[in-house]
Amino acid sequence: MLLDTGPLVAALDARDQWHTACVALWPELIARCVTTEAVLTEACYMVGRGGAPAQLPVDFTLAARVPIVSLDHPAHRRISVLMDKYASVPMDYADATLVAVAEALSIRTVFTLDRRGFRSYRIGASGRFAMLP
Q: What is the CATH number of the domain that holds 60?
A: 3.40.50.1010
Q: How far is CA 18 from the centre of its chain?
A: 15
pLDDT at 124: 77
Q: Calculate mean pLDDT across residues 6-11.
A: 97
Q: Calculate mean pLDDT across residues 40-45.
A: 98
Task: Kindly provide the residue ranges of all beta strands, DSSP E only, lying in the chain, ordered along the sequence.
Answer: 2-3, 35-36, 68-69, 109-111, 130-132
Using one digit for the tens of pLDDT, what is the confidence trace for 43-69?
Answer: 999 999 999 999 999 999 999 999 999
User: How many separate domains does the chain show?
Assistant: 1
Range of the domain at 74: 2-132
Residue 32 has pLDDT above 90, yes or no: yes
pLDDT at 126: 75
